[in-house]
Amino acid sequence: MRPLRYSINVTLDGCCHHEAGLPPDEESMDYWTAEMARADALLFGRTTYAMMESAWRKPATGKWPDWMDEWQIPFAETIDQAKKYVVSSTLSQVDWNAELVKGELGPAVERLKQAPGEGLFVGGVTLPLALADLGLIDEYVFLVQPVLAGHGPSLLNGLRERIRLQLVDRHDFRSGVVALRFRPLQ
């Protein structure tokens, strides 16, 4: 069974809005590129899918936009080419190498996890909360930003039951960001 990994940037006060932390740098983009590459497919909710597509889908011209630095291109190419699954009750179709997840969330994600491969990657806020409540997340990766945001969506806000975690890896970045990898205690 392939593991489901949840990864997200989070500030010291628990905010996980994509603009609340430090701007991406070369070191963090290399880390995220490696995280994405560890997955056979990405699992997104509608909002995260739309946000990622607007930022990282390769334009029809075949050329990355001028705003993108050279060190961002490996991440852009990795996410652009990745297989994606989208959970949405409002979308009737998706593209960008994606397909809609059909049926009840728990059994549908269980089926994805049963497929052979190295792993699934989930990002965002709302979908991971539902997956955590269902006990489907096998690994949590938090890139803790040395920032106090004071506002915005909070990490796993509304979780029904406490989930005890075991730290299995830590990586310190020059920027002060700390990547913490946890697995749920059984």
The C-alpha atoms of residue 128 and residue 124 are separated, in whole angstroms, by: 7
Largest CA distance in the chain: 49
The predicted pLDDT at position 19 comes to 86
Taking only the tens place, the pLDDT of each residue in 70-90 is 999 999 999 999 999 999 999
Q: What's phi and psi for 28, nearest 5 deg?
A: -70, -35
Q: What residue has token string 């049963």? A: 114
The predicted pLDDT at position 173 comes to 96
Question: What are the C-alpha distances in Å from 174 to residues 17, 43, 56, 144?
Answer: 22, 29, 25, 13
Give one word for 75, left, alpha or beta, with left for phi > 0 and alpha for psi -120 to 50: alpha
Taking only the tens place, the pLDDT of each residue in 46-65 is 999 999 999 999 999 999 99
Taking only the tens place, the pLDDT of each residue in 9-30 is 999 999 998 888 888 899 999 9
The structure's pTM equals 0.93
Helix axes 46-56, 73-81, angle to 10 degrees: 130
The predicted pLDDT at position 57 comes to 94
Q: What torsion do the CA atoms of 106, 108, 109, 112 make, to the nearest 10 degrees?
A: 160
The C-alpha atoms of residue 59 and residue 152 are separated, in whole angstroms, by: 30
Residues 147 and 20 sit within 8 Å (Cβ to Cβ): yes
Strand-pair partners of 83: 41
Taking only the tens place, the pLDDT of each residue in 89-126 is 999 999 999 999 988 999 999 999 999 999 999 999 99
Nearest to 49 by CA among 85, 82, 16, 17: 85
